[in-house]
């Protein structure tokens, strides 16, 4: 057995209710295996005959009898949980953080982040938001991007943008905001996460991509863009309850976070209408690194 496998087993033995891949990766990073990605670690866990996925994205050693998993309850008063008409969230993902970015363009490593937003969701309810402009440095902002994001040249908004914190500081804020929760983003595995990683290589978040889930839950779509799949009025209503501001639209990072959250809820509802055998068959179409989506699809009762 390799040293990595030994360390994984030791970490799992110390945990009474199992560990997620993200938690295991942190353990291994402390042991000097910083090069091991979450995707590779997930493949190792799936290929191993010693480990078993027990729910909530957590792994345990085979033969270990876990304590019953309790539904996580936020440490907040009931009235502090902001209302939003959405579907019950699946048990395998009871809490998560949606994030979204707006940028000067699509060229990874060259263009810059202009806005970074995140939305924390617990038991199906958005409870907290993070939203900030990001200083793009010397990178020019094209006319098309200015029009799309409503940043007129030499306006108060541009001055606010140019005096905003740099990406490094924003990512520190995001890390504190996320804690140990899994992250979700629409087209996040293809754009948002790798875009940020190209600028900040230590950005280690690998979001669960709602675009992938939409392709399974609602495949007969002409477009899988967030704007095409979302209900703008419902998003505004939900945004108002979270941030007290409904005067936003698509291509605002916070608005897109709320839209992604509602889209995830809608996909869960669509999947719940399917036969369990159909959902299980769909799980074979997923990339190997999407454990939460697979956990959802293989549930017998949503």
C-alpha–C-alpha distance, residues 169 and 29, integer Å: 22
- Which of 75-89, 190-204, 226-240 shows the lowest per-residue confidence on average (mean pLDDT)? 75-89
Instruction: State residue 262's pLDDT score.
Output: 93
27-37 pLDDT tens trace: 777 677 767 77
Specify the higher pLDDT residue, 147 or 22: 147
CA angle 212, 214, 219 (to 5 degrees): 110
Mean pLDDT over 260-271 rounds to 87
Q: How confident is the model at residue 214 (pLDDT cuts 50, 70, 90)?
A: confident
Q: Mean pLDDT of all residues in the chain?
A: 79
C-alpha–C-alpha distance, residues 260 and 254, integer Å: 10
Indicate the DSSP class of residue 205.
Answer: -
3-class secondary structure for 134-191?
CCCCCCCCCHHHHHHHCCCCCCHHHHHHHCCCCHHHHHHHHHHHHCCCCEEECCHHHH
Compute the half-sphere exposure of residue 247: CA atoms within 13 Å on the CB side of its CA: 1
DSSP string, 36-92: --HHHHHHHHHH-SSEEEEETTEEEETT--PPPPPPP--SS-GGGS-----PPPPTT
98-123 pLDDT tens trace: 999 999 999 999 999 999 999 999 98
- Which of 109-118, 135-144, 273-282 shows the lowest per-residue confidence on average (mean pLDDT)? 273-282
pLDDT score of 76 more than 90? no
C-alpha–C-alpha distance, residues 86 and 71, integer Å: 18
Domains present along the chain, CATH in parentheses: 3-61 (1.10.10), 78-297 (3.30.420.10)
Instruction: State residue 86's pLDDT score.
Output: 25
- Which of 36-50, 59-73, 177-191, 202-216 shows the lowest per-residue confidence on average (mean pLDDT)? 59-73
Specify the higher pLDDT residue, 208 or 104: 104
Mean pLDDT over 58-79 rounds to 54
């Amino acid at each position: 057995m390799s040293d990595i496998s030994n360390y994984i087993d030791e970490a799992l033995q110390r945990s009474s209710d199992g560990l997620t891949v993200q938690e295991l990766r942190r353990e291994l990073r402390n042991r000097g295996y910083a090069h091991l990605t979450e995707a590779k670690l997930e493949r190792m866990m799936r290929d191993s005959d010693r480990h078993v996925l027990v729910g909530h994205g957590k792994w345990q050693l085979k033969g270990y009898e876990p304590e019953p998993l309790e539904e996580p309850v936020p440490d907040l008063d009931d009235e502090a949980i902001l209302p939003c008409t959405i579907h019950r969230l699946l048990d395998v993902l009871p809490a998560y953080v949606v994030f979204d970015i707006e940028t000067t363009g699509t060229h990874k490593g060259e263009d810059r982040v202009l806005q970074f937003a995140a939305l924390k969701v617990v038991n199906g309810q958005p409870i907290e938001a993070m939203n900030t402009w990001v200083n793009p440095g010397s990178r020019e902002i094209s006319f098309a991007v200015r029009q799309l994001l409503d940043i007129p040249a030499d306006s108060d908004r541009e001055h606010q943008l140019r005096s905003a914190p740099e990406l490094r500081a924003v990512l520190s804020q995001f890390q504190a905001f996320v804690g140990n929760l899994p992250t979700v983003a629409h087209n996040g595995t293809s754009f948002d996460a790798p875009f940020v990683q190209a600028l900040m290589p230590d950005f280690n978040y690998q979001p669960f991509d709602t675009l992938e889930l939409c392709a399974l839950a609602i495949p007969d779509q002409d477009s899988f863009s967030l704007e095409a799949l979302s209900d703008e009025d419902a998003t505004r209503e939900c945004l108002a309850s979270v941030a007290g501001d409904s005067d936003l639209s698509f291509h605002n990072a916070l608005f897109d976070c709320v839209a992604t959250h509602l889209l995830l809820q809608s996909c869960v509802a669509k999947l719940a209408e399917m036969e369990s055998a159909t959902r299980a068959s769909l799980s074979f179409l997923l990339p190997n690194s999407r454990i939460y989506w697979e956990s959802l699809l293989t549930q017998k009762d949503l």
